[in-house]
Structure 1
Amino acid sequence: MIDIGVNLTNSRFDKDRDAVIDRARAAGVQALILTGTSEQESREALAMAHQWPGYCYSTAGVHPHDAKSVIDLTLPQIRDLAADPAVVAIGECGLDFNRDFSPRPQQETVFEAQLALAAELQKPVFMHCRDAHDRFLAILKPWRDKLPAAVLHCFTGTEQELKGCLALDLHIGITGWVCDERRGTELRDIVHLIPDQRLMLETDCPYLLPRDLRPKPKSSRNEPAYLPHIVGAVAACRQQSVDALAAAVFSTTRAFFQIEPA
């Protein structure tokens, strides 16, 4: 198992990062992809990847929430970080029209700038889309054949949106959203439509603690050690054995990020 969405730079991990890593290893999680969401967070994620080489890797990019902070669209700091072998993707980048923490035109401009950078560097892209599906695909489509690989992480959309993403040959990241009996019903019904070679799994920790996790943790904080629970839930939705799903997703993820976990 490889957790492709770990926000390890989040302050909720400040007191026990070493223990979080230890619990992930003990749970059978073989690698973590640490998410960079701004220039500063991307630097911190890379520093943490260096702290646990061969187990942690990172992304470098600017989340749409932080797009307003970008002045130079050549993204020199992200470019410099991406030269490090531990940086395995550009992102988290994309659009978020739900919260609009950055103006939509700026989100779109910064998203496209990161697609251009990923195409130039021939790095995969790690993407975010919330309440912006049509614009997201419209911006991404002209770049798709220039990119070596692209994943839409934390997918929570509709069947039509899923099919639109798969038609662009995107990988799809699935989280513990499938474990939510309130909001995850449609996702549980459509997750079987994702081919094995396009499916990846993630916690998106510390967010999205699986609601059906038992015993229920005292803290609402999610962490990579809970990834096996998500694997089990997704396997049940897809009517696959846990071992078969885990093996397929591990192979897909390793090929996507071009990593060989130690």
Structure 2
Amino acid sequence: MTELIDIGVNLTDKRFQHDIDDVINRAKASHISAMLITGTSLASSRQAIALCQQHPGFLFATTGVHPHDASSMTDIVMEDLASLSKQSCIVAIGETGLDFNRNFSTPEEQIIAFEQQIELAKSTRLPLFLHERDATEKQVQLLKPHSQQLKGAVLHCFTGDKNALFNYLDLGFYIGITGWICDERRGLPLKSLVKEIPPERLLLETDAPYLLPRDLAIKPKKGRNEPAFLQHIAMTIARLRDITFEELSMQTTENTRRLFNI
């Protein structure tokens, strides 16, 4: 079977701490050829790097400060992020962006932290790993002046509307699709919209342990998502796009390797 790459998995989450080796082995058995661990803070980025060093060539990572934690951003934090970005396993800056839905950090704090990480992505020539919720207009406004100078970007865990999709596509960005598309309630708009994503811009992710596909025939007891379920997500997307699983796998793997240089 054609192999897949999971571009977004939170392996540093405490729900993986007791069986992470089993999780990784199940991913490999499910034809996952590589995974990107999402860094959302200095601490999680350091933990991600440590995991990557245990599994070189299979695990890669991002380093950044999530908008929820933007209030923690300082000059020292930025210096540390810049230092971590030099690690060979780091392939993107983020998870960064804007989240005006929960506002765990104020919009002003989020914008400052986001702008700093955009500059870091430009200086390191690493792509951006983007989060966005209820902030499309402002996020696009902040990104647009830099789009030609960026190595690239992916809108991670895209759940937006058609306007948001085409705004990000117009910037030349990639779109990450998760198990949200398997939700028979919340995922309905995305099911129709996924056909609009150009094949060369589509990426796959689980965002594990979050967003367990709701239509799995056999669900894990504690409702924890994991990379082994990426195959199920890919099959759902292939069916919605009216292509074969093999075509989708080959295209998204090629896209991932191109964007993240792995």
The TM-score bracket by the shorter chain reads over 0.9
Tell me the equivalent position of 1:167.
Answer: 170
Identity %: 49
Matched, 1:5 2:8: yes
Take 2:127 and 2:149, find their aligned partners in 1: how far apart are those partners? 10
Take 1:44 and 1:31, find their aligned partners in 2: how far apart are those partners? 17
Take 1:166 and 1:249, find their aligned partners in 2: how far apart are those partners? 16
Take 1:73 and 1:63, find their aligned partners in 2: how far apart are those partners? 16
| 1:158, distance to aligned residue in structure 2 (A) | 0.5
Tell me the equivalent position of 2:256.
Answer: 253
Deviations 1:72-119 (A, max 9, x none): 177111100000110000000000111111011010110010000110
Tell me the equivalent position of 1:119.
Answer: 122
Q: Tell me if structure 2 keeps the 8 A contact 1:73–1:110.
A: no
Using the size of structure 1 for normalisation, the TM-score is 0.97
Q: Mapping of 1:177-196 within 5 angstroms?
A: 177-196=180-199
Q: 1:104 aligns with which of 104, 107, 115?
A: 107
Which SS does the other structure have where 2:211 is aligned?
A: coil
Q: Tell me if structure 1 keeps the 8 A contact 2:42–2:77.
A: no
| 1:215, distance to aligned residue in structure 2 (A) | 1.3
Q: Which amino acid aligns with 1:182?
A: R
Tell me the equivalent position of 1:76.
Answer: 79
Which SS does the other structure have where 1:205 is aligned?
A: coil
Tell me the equivalent position of 1:146.
Answer: 149
Q: 1:47 aligns with which of 45, 50, 53?
A: 50
- Rate the CA distance shift 1:70–1:246 in 2: closer, same or farther, 3 A: same
Tell me the equivalent position of 1:236.
Answer: 239
Query: Structure 2: any 5+ residue segments left out of the alignment?
Result: none
Q: 1:59 aligns with which of 59, 62, 67?
A: 62
Query: Structure 1: any 5+ residue segments left out of the alignment?
Result: none
Q: Tell me if structure 2 keeps the 8 A contact 1:73–1:113.
A: no
Tell me the equivalent position of 1:28.
Answer: 31
Take 1:216 and 1:151, find their aligned partners in 2: how far apart are those partners? 29
CA RMSD of aligned residues (A): 0.9
| 1:30, distance to aligned residue in structure 2 (A) | 0.5
Tell me the equivalent position of 2:133.
Answer: 130
Take 2:236 and 2:149, find their aligned partners in 1: how far apart are those partners? 34
Take 1:35 and 1:87, find their aligned partners in 2: how far apart are those partners? 10
Q: Tell me if structure 2 keeps the 8 A contact 1:33–1:57.
A: yes
